Structure 1
Amino acid sequence: MERRYSDMSIEELRREIGELTDKARKAEQMGMVNEYAVYERKIIMAKSYMLNPADFKPGEEYQIDGDPAHNFRIVYMNGTFAWGYRLNDQGEKVSEEEEEALPISMLGKKMN
């Protein structure tokens, strides 16, 4: 039975990320796009558990890894997820959605 990331130590998470990276690489080489995407998401989640959610505060704005055209403003935190919305270069909301959740490992450089 697989253990939850929240129950793993930092070293166990690093080992898990290494194994997932190998599996993702193999899936990509074999052209298994969906399987590759699953491993990439698992890596993102495992990396989130290596960060301290207390370092991310509501009202702060961050770059989004993988989305250089937008920043992310946090409205509130829930565990390893930052809830908020994407902003364009002019600081305007990009989506009509109320909020979306991003794993904190997807947040890059703090903007403000």
Structure 2
Amino acid sequence: MSELYAAMDEHELRQEIANLKEKARKAEQLGIVNEFAVYERKALMAAAYLIDPATIVVGEMYRLDGAPGEFFQVDRLKGRFAWGHRLGSDKYEEAIPISMLAPMKVGK
């Protein structure tokens, strides 16, 4: 699909995410690691458009989906990316799609 994620409605985004995850699954089965990673990242970006950036609180700590035990503190938001730092990381500031952020409190 060549349409921009920002122009898609919720149904179209969910369909695009499902298509990308299916392509990623096939690439993984075929052992094409680079292609798998690209489709996974595209699915994360599409999922970021299903989240209202206003729900992400600057200064808050979040769990990282898909990375158990890793935490991310949001310093600022720009578009569909949260800029900040991973807890305990030597890295400087990094940006991640807001779809990777999960609330610290379980059940939210």
Per the TM superposition, whether the score is higher than 0.5 is yes
5 Å-filtered alignment, 1:26-105, equals 26-88=26-88, 94-97=89-92, 99-105=93-99
**Bigger share in strand:** 1
Deviation at 1:109, TM superposition (A): 2.1
Deviation at 1:108, TM superposition (A): 1.3
Give the TM-score, by structure 1 length. 0.87
Aligned length: 105
1:110 aligns with 2:104: yes
Runs of 4+ in 1 over 3 A off after TM superposition: none
Deviations 1:16-74 (A, max 9, x none): 01111111111111111110110000000000000000000111110011222321111
The CA distance in 1 between the partners of 2:27 and 2:46, in whole Å, is 19
The CA distance in 1 between the partners of 2:66 and 2:72, in whole Å, is 12
SS of residue paired to 2:102: strand
Q: Which has the larger radius of gyration?
A: 1
SS of residue paired to 2:75: strand
One-letter identity of the residue aligned with 2:97:
P
The CA distance in 2 between the partners of 1:17 and 1:70, in whole Å, is 24
Give the TM-score, by structure 2 length. 0.90
SS of residue paired to 2:69: strand
Q: Is this contact kept in 1: 2:75–2:82, CA < 8 A?
A: yes
Q: Is this contact kept in 1: 2:81–2:95, CA < 8 A?
A: yes
**What 5-or-longer segments of structure 2 have no aligned partner?**
none
Aligned-pair identity (%): 50
